[in-house]
Homo-oligomer: A and B are copies of this chain.
Amino acid sequence: MYAAVERLYPICRSITGDGVRATLDILAESLPIERRGVPSGTQAFDWTVPDEWNVRDAYIADRQGRRVVDFRRHSLHLVNYSVPVRATMTLDELRPHLHTLADRPDWIPYRTTYYHRNWGFCLADEQLRSMDEGPYEVVVDSTLEPGELTYGELVLPGESAEEVVISAHVCHPSLANDNLSGIAVAMEVARSLSACSARHFTYRFLFAPGTIGSLTWLSRNADVLSRIRHGLVVTGLAGPGPLVYKRSRRGERDVDRAAAHVVARRGGEIRSYSPYGYDERQFNAIGFDLPFGRLSRTPHGEYPEYHTSADDLSFVKPSELAESYLAVLELLDVLENDETHQNLSPYGEPQLGKRGLYPSTGGKPATDMVMAMLWVLAYSDGSTSLLDIASIAGSDFAGLRGAASALLAAGLLGRAAAA
């Protein structure tokens, strides 16, 4: 996963353009991701696919022709979606187009101007302070013309047509945690699932630009929406903080309960919905009302490196990606395997000992496996699922699932209905 992040990092992505296509090309090397193009001007609910933006070059050069600020050195230097410019300007004339972070003088901020025709440069505050009055040569060699919005989609069919959707935004330029981490984890999860012999749900992975990308997908997939059973936005899955799960808007959907279980047991944090953030805003909107949660580590805006050049390759650790990947797999495991059973020997405790399921010498504390079987037997009344029992018992889903398997094999438990 870290190698993927390294390879994707230098590319200048935006909500449209070559950067997104280059990113999807790299992803398509290892998984059959389908690339969709939607023409500029296409309506997506209240939004319109904008003109496509591409950059050949952009810089600010001093009188000696030295590039003081150079897009080729860092994709963040150019305000994303800047219109073409060729001008000579003094520093004072330039200032309204320059963005810095006064409290982080050596970091470059990330700024965009998607829906408002403008241009600008981002640079380190200390660099700005070292610049003389100029004049400077200012060049933004970009194009902003009718083209397309591009997104990638991968569908892994399952036994059921009901879908689990995993979405990662692909519009951010050289920012490692936001969101190359989410892209890399989603890819690795897709690889693991595609290697599985049997999947209950159909899995759909979306790699789309933020907001306009997810809205465009939503506007073109009205028939899919009713089949979406669970959804997850993955983003910011590296960084030193613990896992943070953000609930869906309604807050008590199945994915919320499953994620709360998995994340809490990993020492992570569960938060309520807020209408700010990533594409969970779109999926959860009242008109769709889809059950999408979001998994991240320290969320956007809560770590100083967020949306700056400090969100670089050194900010992302392979071990953090690995834990995030495992958490997503565990969550999907719960969604796939949460079943409801009926205790078939409900009149008192069945005699586990005569079936080899209970230690023969009594008087000692119960083992974890015995406890898990007792919890499953005590609450499997035909309407209480394994995840419900995990919540009642405060115990691990995987352990209860193992206990249920043993009890099913022993004929003490029957399947009630898919939860």
Main secondary structure of the interface of A (DSSP, over half): loop
Whether a CB of chain B sits under 8 angstroms from the CB of A378 is yes
Cross-interface CB contact of A285 among B288, B348, B366, B393, cutoff 8 Å = B348
Q: Assess whether B218 is in contact with A113, with CB atoms less than 8 Å apart.
A: no
Say whether A381 faces chain B, with CB atoms less than 8 Å apart: yes
Number of copies: 3
Question: A32: CB under 8 A from chain B?
Answer: no
| CB-CB contacts below 8 Å: A333-358 with B | 343, 345-351, 353-354
**Chain B proximity of A294: nearest CB distance (Å):** 14
A140 in contact (CB, < 8 A): no
Please determine whether A378 and B249 come into contact, CB atoms closer than 8 angstroms. yes
Nearest CB in chain B to that of A371: its residue: B276
Assembled-state Cα–Cα distance A287/B361 (Å): 27
A81 (CB) vs chain B CBs: closest residue: B362
* Interface set, chain A 357-378, CB cutoff 8 A to B: 360-366, 371, 374-375, 377-378
Q: Who on chain B is nearest to A46 by CB?
A: B350
* Bound form: Cα–Cα A116–B363 in Å: 13
* A46 & B378 in contact (Cβ 8 Å cutoff): no
A113 and B361 within 8 A (CB): yes
Chain A 275-299 near chain B by CB (<8 Å), digits 1 or 0: 1100001101111100000000000
Closest B residue to A380 by CB, please name it: B286
Shortest C-beta distance, A25 to chain B (Å), equals 26
Report how many residues on chain A are interfacial, defined by Cβ distance under 8 Å: 64
Q: Which residues of B contact A350 (CB under 8 A)?
A: 46
Which one, B113, B273, B374, contacts A360 given CB within 8 A? B113
B286–A211 touching, CB < 8 Å = no
Q: How far is the CB of A172 from chain B (nearest CB, A)?
A: 9
Q: Are A281 and B366 in contact (CB under 8 A)?
A: no
Stretch touching chain B among A104-112, A124-132, A189-197? A104-112
Task: Please indicate the chain B residues that have their CB under 8 angstroms from the CB of A353 in the complex.
Answer: 115-116
A285 touches B346 (CB 8 A): yes
Cβ contact within 8 Å between A346 and B286: yes
Q: Which residue of B lies closest to A345 (CB)?
A: B46
- B378 touching A116 by the CB < 8 A rule? no
**How many Å lie between the Cα of A366 and that of B360 in the bound state?**
63
Which residues from B are CB-within-8-Å of A301? 365
Q: Is A215 an interface residue (CB 8 A)?
A: yes
Within residues 41 to 62 of chain A, which ones have a CB less than 8 A from any CB in chain B?
A: 44-47
Contact of A349 among B114, B211, B366 (CB under 8 A): B211
Tell me the complex Cα distance, A404–B274, Å.
17
A202 within 8 A of B: no
Q: Which residues of A contact B (CB under 8 A)?
A: 44-47, 79-80, 99, 109-116, 118, 120, 211, 214-215, 218-219, 249, 272-276, 281-282, 284-288, 301, 307, 343, 345-351, 353-354, 360-366, 371, 374-375, 377-381, 392-393
